[in-house]
Chains A and B, each alone.
Chain A
């Protein structure tokens, strides 16, 4: 008959194996947001609550440029517009590295069950924000609006964007 000490050891080892095995498995995230589960909690919360999300990045060396001046102006105007329901986040270094985005200046627009848009460079035209906002709120887009929509992520050629892995899952 096994001793109490032996039983205790057996349960302990089983427990350790279970926990260790679990570490290699990602949580039960849907395929839709397979890249998204690694992003910061507040970004995930906004996304999971069906909010429109805007992630942006800029290099500090651009701050004396005219492009930065225009980009900051239009982004701040968009952010402070009372009709804007977007949640804006400056992407963290960790998130940028995780997503394997090779650029310093970019914007990503996300909304659950909508196309993800990746804009390479600084957005210097306010119409870009208007076009994505209309698209995410299912408003009709004019020809002019359509000409300002950024490329959907899944149509981009870049292989270094880890977010692209998401495209094969149905987007």
Chain B
């Protein structure tokens, strides 16, 4: 008789190790089955091999994180609203709750996706694309749109509101950034960690009465009163200003998500995958 065994790191189909012990009879659900299902759900991206190693553990943890935190997924490749799964443990082992949820995802043909949204600049009264604005490389996004994580949408609306109150304009250089590997044409290694890579940051210049407040303005302490006011107002709302960083990163605001936490890793994986696989990026109205 076959039974369900809580699969975990170190298990191996070929060695007949399941649940941390050598078993005489195989369980109903093998490591390879788990890997195939995680692959269908979109979190396992390497070859299946029946070995529950660090990659399988991370993929399972990603799936559990999505179940617990994400209100969207793809169903039959189309955007779909879902309810967060209650009481799911994010520990990278196959407990019964996770197993049931995974089977449900497979049955419903669900796939993980990120939380990036697109906002049309025309919906923002005081935020515009700068002449150097580079759109996200996705056919689902137009050059008139800004892409950001849904969780950082408030950063954009707060900047817009403050800018409107102060009669200043924010010129955006970049928000979400697709991760690049070092290709020909690149001269330095791209950063591995950044709030831009998860869609939590915006690079912009504050244009106040025709004055471009840029790095030089701040270095020379010639920034305008409007620039000082919006920075203070946004810092009061707990956003970070790049002028406070070392080294300074003047035209940068972000909503920090600690990159040592798993939530950063999950968002990085989901949002980068969302763009590289050309998933739908939902349009949000302000």
Contact = CB atoms under 8 A, between A and B. Distances in A.
A72 B188 contact: yes
Residue among A58, A64, A88, A125 with most chain B CB within 10 A: A125
B247 A105 contact: yes
Contact of B247 (A72, A75, A121, A127): A121
Nearest to B205: A125
A77 B185 CA distance: 8
A31 interface: no
Interface string A56-73: 101000111111111111
B245 A67 contact: yes
Judged by DSSP, the binding face of B is loop
Nearest to A142: B131
B161 interface: no
A148 interface: yes
Interface in B247-286: 247-252, 254
B270 to A, nearest CB: 19
Contacts of B14: none
Interface in A142-159: 143-144, 147-148, 150
Interface size class of B (residues with CB under 8 A): 35 or more
A69 B247 contact: no
Given A69-B194, A127-B130, A127-B131, A76 B245 contact: no
Given A76-B180, A125-B214, A148-B212, A66 B190 contact: no
A121 B219 CA distance: 10
Given A66-B201, A125-B214, A73 B174 contact: yes
Nearest to B215: A125
A88 B187 contact: yes
Contact of A66 (B188, B189, B205, B254): B254
A75 B193 contact: no
A58 B188 contact: yes
Contacts of A80: 183-186
B42 to A, nearest CB: 26
B216 interface: yes
A124 B252 contact: yes
Contacts, number: 117
Interface string A114-135: 0000000110111100100000
B54 to A, nearest CB: 22
A33 interface: no
Interface residues of A, number: 35
Contacts of B252: 66, 70, 124
A79 B214 contact: no
Interface string A19-49: 0000000000000000000000000000000
A130 to B, nearest CB: 6
A64 to B, nearest CB: 6
B9 interface: no
Given A66-B195, A80-B186, A148-B214, A125 B173 contact: yes
A63 B247 CA distance: 10
Interface string B126-146: 000011101000000000000
Interface in A49-108: 56, 58, 62-77, 79-80, 88, 90, 105
A153 to B, nearest CB: 15
B246 interface: yes
Given A69-B191, A69-B193, A105-B247, A147 B214 contact: yes
Contacts of B217: 147
Contacts of A67: 242, 245, 247-249
Given A64-B193, A73-B180, A90-B188, 10 more contacts: A56-B188, A66-B254, A70-B196, A72-B189, A76-B188, A90-B187, A121-B215, A122-B247, A144-B131, A147-B212
14 contacts: A56-B188, A63-B191, A65-B246, A65-B249, A66-B252, A67-B242, A69-B190, A69-B197, A73-B177, A75-B187, A77-B134, A121-B248, A125-B132, A147-B212
Interface of B: 130-132, 134, 173-174, 177, 180, 183-191, 193-197, 201, 203, 205, 210-212, 214-217, 219, 242, 245-252, 254
